[in-house]
Chains A and B, each alone.
Chain A
Amino acid sequence: MSVSRRGFLGAGAVVVGGVVAADRLRFLGPLTTPGPQDAAGSAAAATAAVYRTGHSNNCDGACGHLVHVVDGRVTMIGPAQFATTTISGAPAPTFHPRICARGLSQISNTYSPDRIKYPYKRVGPRGSGKWQRISWDEATSLIAEKFTATQAQYGKTSVWIAPYTGSLSLIEGVVGAGFRFASVIGASAGDSQGDNQGDSATPAGWNYVLVDPENPDNGGGFFDGHESVDFLNAKAIVFWANNVAETSIPDWRIMCDARDRNGTQLISVDPRFTPTSAACDRWLPIRPGSDTALIDGLINYVITHKLYDADYIRSYTVGPYLVDPRTKKWLRADAVIPGAKPDYVVYDESDGTIKAAGDPSVRTPAILGTYPAGGVSAGTAMQALADMARRYTPAYVEKLTDVPAAQVVSLGQLWGTVKPFAVRVGFGLSHWYHGDLHMQALLTLQAITGNIGVHGGGVTTFAGGLTTTAFDLFNWWNPTGTPYTVLEPMQFCDAVTKGEPYPVRAAWFMVDNFAQQMADRNRVVKAMKQLDFCVVSDYVLSATADIADLVLPACTYLEKTDLLSSNNFYLQYMPKIVDPLFESKSDLDAIRMVAEKMGVGQYFDKTPDEYLKQLLRLGRAEVDPTVDGLTWERLTSEAVHLNTDPMPYVPFFDKQFRTKSGKIEFYVEMLVPYGQQVCEHQEPIEASPHNPLYKKYPLVFLSTHTRFRTHSQYVNLPWLKEINNGGNGFLEINPKDAGPRGIRDGDVVRVFNDRGEMKVYARLTEAIKPGVVNCYQGGWDTIKVKHYVAGHPNNLTHQIANPAQSVIPNFPSNAAYFDCLAQVERA
């Protein structure tokens, strides 16, 4: 019988069955049942070590995995448990099991023949696929030399580090060591929110209404949501552009529990008939990008039928504050009331006078109406909203959105009469030029119905995790005290090709398949090819690695130590479970080698465990209350729940909104220059029938997510290929659009617009709205693998930026992937 070396010598392994190493029980906690090997009683049983880890996959599922290892090789992955108490011992909701087909397939990801085994240097022209194996020493010397020379010639910021969302873990992922490296060498780097490729529009809209970006305490803006299990408290849940049953599958259990235990109504708003739509009680088949028009219709219904929550509006929103009709800005008390201090102005219905909002004599501030004040006729913010919304009658909304008027009425009735009412929003809503507006509109509706800061309410995309204060990210990113310079992914092309806002001449991409996943791909690839030097760290030869000068073999989540805290309030320690395969190294180790050669190795000389202890401020006086009392032993033995208040976590439960007024600002003064102070519907920037381009390209081109991969990861895994159309990409097209084009099911079609084209198999389905086509994004278009017949959806998408979002420094415009028109023809 062979004995697992790791099982006995490695840290934290438990031997299942047979012998247990008594002093290595740290991972025994989550394992409550013996493995099936026990029954078999075979030789393998005695040597299986079982580890608990988190899957730091960018689906925000944040699943827990139990990983079986025999003789240093992973043999089995199953679901792991989460703790049912907080760090301080308060009861936490049951959160497991959490796993899906992707997570279960991770063995074949780590042991894939597609893994990059060694460092390689390009020997042919860029993109030729001709590589020469070199040593890690040669590779890291080359990086240090090139980065040093580039920075000397073009300035420090001409080196761009792009750590992205391929992993949502702390050390190696979207907030990872790449940012620390960029700071230390004075380079520029992408955004640490990891949202600029497609996920910053809805967060920007969230900040418009709930956060003052100018207040230093708010750090330029943040994003938060309700803990998943809080949806159990909702009486109705709308999944707005959110295919949760396909894209964050374990969260669907919570929604089913709400339905089955509490009778919660489930509603889907989506242009596609998704698995989520099919499972919901109601589905509203909306025209893509017209979301705000529907929300305005619901706002109008709620206001005209007086279904709004007047007490809530008075207490917690800017609804009663008067607006100066000349400037559209707030009427100021010190300007219109003699002797008053700076304040907002309200009309007190109890005595019919204008007063400063903070005047203690105010009894009943008017919510609606227009009142003389300071020589002008000033309406309340709520009145401005009502005036805007008035024309969004059910009939007009039907015209704009294709949602039947009767459905608008019945949803408006439900929204105004059922409380609490929750909204879960997918990032698909953020993939629009006006994604910020959609979120602003949803929060406006939730504000006037009293559904913000309450259990079972809110507008949630994700919550917790990296948005918590548990981690000392500032010192992790900036060990020298000087932060890196932010250069957003949307700025990359101009920086390389035009030198604006400054030149970028060298780049290092980590956990990021930029050359395929960034919008307007042809432009991106062209820019990347103009770089003087390009390094890519990855575990497979991605489309980005294809055009690099140097590729470094990276580790999968099973081969390195990290911590996962994503989309929930659990901390999942991710131990290194098997040694890195081949010559792969963690990004931290790769960075360390380069840093040493650039003379800054002292900032990377610690182990991941040591950095995690620093990040969590464990045992220090300044430890965050959410992790107070946490010990290293506990962190590494179970998935603990943070100390959250309330439980389940609800943002703004104390109704202390982080805006200038301290109230929910559904009237957004800082958006007056953009005419967006109230959430009036605006047509998509491209994907609108009003766009002249629509005559040439009459189909809205969506590129959504599938359950069978996560962005561009796992495309190559055999089990997933077998259940995903044999691994061939397809375009969903309605028979009504396919027929006149002579397209039959399975035909190869060409999808194109002025920016680019792709070829792909057609799938005729009624699940897609006529006038709309959809191709799941992320399939590989590499030198070796053509998931689609040719190209990728991002050959067609664009990078048109929304300037309104510039008011929120942390959430400047993302790429509006879905706001895209195309034509389709038989290839």
Chain B
Amino acid sequence: MAKKKEPTATPHRVMVIDTNRCVGCWTCAVACKEVNNEPLGFWWNRILTTAPNESTAAAAPASENIDVPRGEYPNLEMAYLPVACQHCTDAPCVKVCPVQATFRRDDGTILVDYERCIGCRYCMAACPYGVRIFNWGDASYAPGGTVGYGADYRSDGRLVFTPERPKGVVEKCTFCVERIDVGQQPFCVESCPVGARVFGDIDDPGSEVSQLVNEGGAVQLHPELGTGPNVYYVPVRKRVPRES
């Protein structure tokens, strides 16, 4: 249950994705790619084609089997699962990082300090959701890209966003830390054309995310792993039994 919260307390930030609304359009993924200037081949956020309410995070190549349903025609079902960093409360990546480059902020956001990361990739091995990407070489960008957009951003003095990540570091979703710290929404939330994404403070009982998690039945990916993700998914509701 949500606890009563003092206005001055640090928010506990979560994202809720309504899989009844997600139609696998990849807008959030491209929005993420744009605002974070992700190099070619990099996707901090991927949209998996799944069966409804499948708890998965298979790190398949981004575009493999897009829109391929389960079942046999015409008895079919299909849903979409956008997967980025789950910002776990008990994050395996934080535990294994030998230099404390990956850390958890008080608001629950998991960030990478790009100046501390030594590129050992233990975090990539530890992450059960396959959402971290390593910069093996010099990045290449889409022509025109977002060159000139964005700027270095520091949280508690640590470099947690930089438009061009250096070779040899691991990167991932930051909940758009430079945006949320000034009261904006993560860019995937702002851009989602179907209103599938909600971001907010789960400790605020009046927040939409709190209601979706506490009353709307939103669930975590692979809860059995005990990682305590702060990304939740509203499961697909079946309203009319399929007749075909």
By a beta-carbon cutoff of 8 Å, the part of chain A in contact with chain B is 33-34, 36-42, 44-45, 68, 70-71, 73-79, 97-101, 104-105, 107-113, 245-246, 249-250, 252-253, 256-257, 259-260, 265, 273-276, 278-279, 281-285, 404, 406-407, 410, 707-708, 717-720, 722-726, 734, 763, 765-770
Chain B neighbourhood of A407, CB < 8 A: 243-244
Query: Within the complex, which residue of B31, B66, B152, B192 is in contact with A40, where a contact is CB–CB below 8 Å?
Result: B152
Is there an interface contact between B151 and A42, defined as CB atoms closer than 8 Å?
Answer: yes
Considering the complex, which residues of chain B in the window 38-68 have a beta carbon less than 8 Å from any beta carbon of chain A? 40-41, 43, 62-63, 66-68
Is there an interface contact between A99 and B27, defined as CB atoms closer than 8 Å?
Answer: yes
B69-77, B91-99, B103-111, B198-206: which lies at the A interface? Answer: B69-77
A719 to B41, CA, bound (A): 8
Is there an interface contact between B142 and A40, defined as CB atoms closer than 8 Å?
Answer: no
Is there an interface contact between B193 and A718, defined as CB atoms closer than 8 Å?
Answer: no
A755 to B79, CA, bound (A): 38
Query: Within the complex, which residue of B40, B66, B77 is in contact with A278, where a contact is CB–CB below 8 Å?
Result: B77
A457 to B213, CA, bound (A): 35
Is there an interface contact between B76 and A33, defined as CB atoms closer than 8 Å?
Answer: no
Is there an interface contact between B27 and A104, defined as CB atoms closer than 8 Å?
Answer: yes
* Minimum distance in angstroms from B109 CB to a CB of chain A: 14
* Minimum distance in angstroms from A386 CB to a CB of chain B: 26
Chain A neighbourhood of B26, CB < 8 A: 101, 707-708, 723
Is there an interface contact between B63 and A722, defined as CB atoms closer than 8 Å?
Answer: yes
The digit string for B116-148, where 1 denotes a CB below 8 A from any CB of A, is 000000000000000000000000001111111
Chain A neighbourhood of B76, CB < 8 A: 273, 278, 283, 766-767
Is there an interface contact between B242 and A101, defined as CB atoms closer than 8 Å?
Answer: no
Q: A42-B152, A101-B29, A273-B73 are in contact. Are A718 and B24 (CB under 8 A)?
A: no
Is there an interface contact between A79 and B191, defined as CB atoms closer than 8 Å?
Answer: yes
Q: A45-B151, A273-B74, A404-B243 are in contact. Are A107 and B68 (CB under 8 A)?
A: no
Is there an interface contact between B73 and A104, defined as CB atoms closer than 8 Å?
Answer: no
A-B residue pairs in contact (CB < 8 Å), sample of 27: A38-B182, A39-B179, A42-B152, A74-B144, A104-B191, A107-B34, A107-B142, A107-B145, A109-B144, A112-B144, A252-B21, A252-B194, A253-B21, A256-B194, A273-B78, A275-B25, A276-B23, A278-B79, A281-B239, A282-B242, A406-B243, A407-B244, A719-B30, A720-B30, A722-B41, A723-B62, A725-B66
* Minimum distance in angstroms from A237 CB to a CB of chain B: 13
Is there an interface contact between A765 and B69, defined as CB atoms closer than 8 Å?
Answer: yes
A258 to B123, CA, bound (A): 43
By a beta-carbon cutoff of 8 Å, the part of chain B in contact with chain A is 20-21, 23-27, 29-31, 33-35, 40-41, 43, 62-63, 66-74, 76-80, 142-153, 176, 178-179, 181-184, 187, 190-195, 239-240, 242-244
Is there an interface contact between B148 and A75, defined as CB atoms closer than 8 Å?
Answer: yes
* Minimum distance in angstroms from A159 CB to a CB of chain B: 36
* Minimum distance in angstroms from A34 CB to a CB of chain B: 7
Query: Within the complex, which residue of A36, A44, A68, A282 is in contact with B178, where a contact is CB–CB below 8 Å?
Result: A36
Query: Within the complex, which residue of A274, A282, A723, A734 is in contact with B66, where a contact is CB–CB below 8 Å?
Result: A723
Most chain B CB atoms below 10 A, which of A36, A79, A256, A260: A36
> What are the 9 tightest A-B residue pairs by CB atom distance, in nearest-first order?
A111-B144, A40-B151, A42-B151, A75-B149, A245-B23, A285-B74, A278-B78, A250-B193, A101-B30
Q: A44-B149, A78-B190, A275-B67 are in contact. Are A39 and B182 (CB under 8 A)?
A: yes
Query: Within the complex, which residue of B23, B34, B72, B240 is in contact with A76, where a contact is CB–CB below 8 Å?
Result: B34
A76 to B239, CA, bound (A): 40
Is there an interface contact between A111 and B193, defined as CB atoms closer than 8 Å?
Answer: no
Is there an interface contact between A723 and B68, defined as CB atoms closer than 8 Å?
Answer: no
Chain A neighbourhood of B31, CB < 8 A: 78, 99, 104
* Minimum distance in angstroms from B211 CB to a CB of chain A: 13
Residue on A with the closest CB to B183? A33
Most chain B CB atoms below 10 A, which of A274, A275, A708, A767: A275
A276 to B78, CA, bound (A): 10
Chain A neighbourhood of B153, CB < 8 A: 39-40
Q: A39-B182, A100-B27, A767-B68 are in contact. Are A256 and B21 (CB under 8 A)?
A: yes
A42 to B239, CA, bound (A): 50
Is there an interface contact between B148 and A71, defined as CB atoms closer than 8 Å?
Answer: yes
Is there an interface contact between A246 and B23, defined as CB atoms closer than 8 Å?
Answer: yes
Residue on B with the closest CB to A33? B184
